[in-house]
Amino acid sequence: MKDKIRIFLDTDLLEKYLLGATTIEESNQVERYIAMHPEVRKTYDELQENLEAYAKLHAIKAPDYLKNTIQARIKNERKSRSKFFKYAIAASITAFILAGSSYFLYNQNQNLQQENTIVTNKIKDLEQDMKVQLEDLRNQYIVLNNPNTKKYSVMGNKKAKELKAVAYINPVKKLSYINVRNLPQLPENQCFQMWAEVNGKMVNLGVIKQFDDKEKLFALPYDKDAVGYITIEPQGGNSTPTVQNIVANIKY
C-alpha cells in the first residue's frame, strides 16, 4: 500500500488537479486518494499552499492596453446595441413611411456583429495567452519543487566573468529551465542572447535583458543530449549565434 501511495505521489496528478488540468477519470482518482490516504491529503494541502504563494509571487498581469481595448470595445458594443434597438422600434412604427430605414438598420447590425467578433477574438487571444502562461507557471512550479530536479551552476567565461546562472533539469518530467541571476554590463550596441542545440539544430531562445527579474526562469527545450549557450550579440539579437562570442555553456 505504501508503494502504491509513493507511486501516485511521484506522478504530477496532484499538481494537474490543483490547476484543473485533469480528466474526469484522473480527478476521480485524485479525490479518492485524498479521501482515503492522510499522506496524500497532507501533500495536497502543502502543494495547494505552495502553489498559491508561488502564483501570487509570479502573478502575470494582463497588459493594460489590452484590457483598456477590450473594455472600450465592450462599451462601444453596448452603445451600438442600444442604438440598434432604438432604430428597430422606430422602424416598426414608421415602416411604411421610411422604407429605406431597413437598409440602414441592416448596416448597423452588420457593424455591431463585426465589433462583437473583434471583441470575441481579442478575448480568445487573451485567454490563450493566459493558458500558455499558466502552463509555463505550472511547469516552473514542478521543476522547482520536484525531488527529481537536478540543479547546475552556470558561470561565464573570461568574456563575461560576472555572469552567473542556475539551470534546473528534471529528466523525469522532461522539463528544463534556467535562471540568469547576474549579467555583466555590456555596451549599448550589444546584448546577451540564449540558445539551445537540440538534435543538431540551434534554437533561438531570445535576448536576455539587463533589467529582467532576477527570479525569472527561461524555459529550455528538453533533450537528454541538449546543450545551451549564452552569447554576446548585436543589440536586438541575432538570427544565428556568434560562436566566437559564446560566454557560457549549459550542458543538460
What is the residue-averaged pLDDT of the chain?
77
- Give the bridge partners for 153, in sequence order: 166
Task: Give yes or no for residue 117 having a pLDDT over 90.
Answer: no
Strand partners, 208: 192
155-192 pLDDT per residue, tens: 999 889 899 989 898 888 888 888 888 889 899 899 99
Q: Which of 144, 177, 197 is a domain's end point?
A: 144
Q: Are residues 176 and 211 in the same domain?
A: yes
Candidate from 82-91, 116-125, 238-247 with smallest mean pLDDT? 82-91
> What's the confidence (pLDDT) of residue 245?
94
Could you say which DSSP state residue 187 is in?
-
Domain containing 6 equals: 2-57
pLDDT of residue 35: 87
Look at 249 and 112; give whichever has higher pLDDT: 249
Mean per-residue pLDDT, 28-55:
82
Q: Which three cell numbers stand for residue 248?
A: 557560457
Rounded CA-CA distance 237/196 in Å is 15
Whether residues 213 and 121 share a domain: the answer is no
Q: Where are the beta strands (DSSP E) in the chain?
A: 150-155, 164-170, 175-182, 190-198, 201-208, 218-220, 227-234, 246-251
Band (pLDDT 50/70/90 cuts) for residue 213 is low
Instruction: Give the SS3 label for residue 50.
Output: helix
Torsion of Cα atoms, 233 then 235 then 237 then 239, to 10°? -80
Greatest CA separation found in the chain? Answer: 87
- Which pLDDT score, from 0 to 100, does residue 246 have? 93
Residue 231's pLDDT is 94
Which residues, including other chains, have CB under 8 Å from residue 59's CB and lie 6 or more apart? Answer: none
pTM above 0.85, yes or no: no
pLDDT at 23 over 70: yes
Among candidate residues 123, 144, 165, the one where a domain is terminated: 144
Q: Verify that 119 and 195 share a domain, yes or no.
A: no
Total domains in the chain come to 3
140 and 159 housed in the same domain: no
